[in-house]
Structure 1
Amino acid sequence: MTILARAIDVTRRYGDVLALDRVSLDIRAGELVGLLGPNGAGKSTLINLFVGLRRPTSGTVELLGGSPLDAAVRRGIGVTPQETGLPEYLRVGEIVDFVSAHFPEKTDKGELLARFGLGDLIKRQVGGLSGGQRRRLAVALAFTGRPRLVFLDEPTTGLDVEARRALWDGVKAFHDDGGTVLLTSHYLEEIEALAERVVVVGHGRVLADDTVRAVRDMVGVRRVSLVAEHLPELPGVLGSERVDGRISLVTTDPDRLVVELVRSGAPFSGLEIRPTTLEEAFLAITSKESAHV
Structure 2
Amino acid sequence: MANALELTAVSKRYGQTSALDGVDLTAEQGQTIAVLGPNGAGKSTLLSIALGLLPPTSGTAAILGHPPVEALRKGLVGVLLQESGLLEDVRVDELVTATAGMYQKPMPVERALRAARADGFAAQRIGKLSGGQRQRVRIALALIGDPRLLVLDEPTVGLDVDGRRALWQEVRARTGEGRTAVFATHYLTEADDYADRVILLAKGKVVADGPVEKIKELVGGSEVHVTLDAAEVGVLQALPGVRQVRVEGGAAVLRTNDSDATLRALFATFADARDVRTAGTDLESAFVSLTGGN
TM-score (norm 1): 0.77
Pairing of 1:263-274 with structure 2 (within 5 A): none
Aligned identity (percent) is: 37
CA shift, 1:91, in A, is 0.7
1:226 has 2:234 as partner:
yes
Pairing of 1:1-293 with structure 2 (within 5 A): 2-70=2-70, 75-216=75-216, 218=219, 225-226=233-234, 234-235=240-241, 237=243, 251=256, 256-257=261-262, 259=264, 280-282=288-290
Please tell me the residue identity of whatever aligns with 2:42: G
Q: Which moved more, 1:47-56 or 1:151-160?
A: 151-160
User: Are the counterparts in 1 of residues 2 and 65 from structure 2 also a CA contact under 8 Å?
Assistant: no
Distance 1:261 1:50 in 2: 48
Q: 1:110/1:69 Cα in 2 relative to 1: closer, same or farther (>3 Å)? A: closer
Q: 1:13/1:211 Cα in 2 relative to 1: closer, same or farther (>3 Å)? A: same
Q: 1:226/1:170 Cα in 2 relative to 1: closer, same or farther (>3 Å)? A: same
Q: Which moved more, 1:63-72 or 1:132-141?
A: 63-72
The CA RMSD over aligned residues, in Å, is 3.3
User: Are the counterparts in 2 of residues 37 and 43 from structure 1 also a CA contact under 8 Å?
Assistant: yes
Q: 1:162/1:262 Cα in 2 relative to 1: closer, same or farther (>3 Å)? A: closer
Partner of 1:290: none
Please tell me the residue identity of whatever aligns with 1:137: V
- Once the two structures are superposed, residues 8-44 of structure 1 have per-residue CA deviations (whole angstroms, 9 ceiling, x without a partner) of 1111112222111111110111111111122211111
Please tell me the residue identity of whatever aligns with 2:107: T
Kindly tell me the number of residue pairs found equivalent between the two proteins.
263
Q: 1:72/1:214 Cα in 2 relative to 1: closer, same or farther (>3 Å)? A: closer
Q: 1:150/1:252 Cα in 2 relative to 1: closer, same or farther (>3 Å)? A: farther
Q: 1:72/1:194 Cα in 2 relative to 1: closer, same or farther (>3 Å)? A: closer
User: Are the counterparts in 2 of residues 42 and 204 from structure 1 also a CA contact under 8 Å?
Assistant: yes
Q: 1:122/1:283 Cα in 2 relative to 1: closer, same or farther (>3 Å)? A: closer
Distance 1:118 1:280 in 2: 36
Q: 1:134/1:254 Cα in 2 relative to 1: closer, same or farther (>3 Å)? A: farther
CA shift, 1:68, in A, is 1.5
Tell me the SS of whatever aligns to 1:147: coil
Distance 2:291 2:258 in 1: 17
Distance 2:98 2:6 in 1: 30
Please tell me the residue identity of whatever aligns with 2:290: F
Please tell me the residue identity of whatever aligns with 2:187: Y
Unmatched 5+ residue regions in structure 1?
Answer: 241-248, 264-274, 285-293
Distance 2:287 2:224 in 1: 12
Q: 1:78/1:26 Cα in 2 relative to 1: closer, same or farther (>3 Å)? A: same
- Once the two structures are superposed, residues 54-94 of structure 1 have per-residue CA deviations (whole angstroms, 9 ceiling, x without a partner) of 11111221222121143665521111001221111111111
TM-score (norm 2): 0.77
Please tell me the residue identity of whatever aligns with 1:235: G
Distance 1:254 1:159 in 2: 39
Distance 1:74 1:116 in 2: 23
User: Are the counterparts in 2 of residues 235 and 257 from structure 1 also a CA contact under 8 Å?
Assistant: yes
Please tell me the residue identity of whatever aligns with 2:15: G
User: Are the counterparts in 2 of residues 207 and 279 from structure 1 also a CA contact under 8 Å?
Assistant: no
Distance 2:182 2:32 in 1: 6
Partner of 1:291: none
Q: 1:63/1:126 Cα in 2 relative to 1: closer, same or farther (>3 Å)? A: same
Partner of 2:248: none
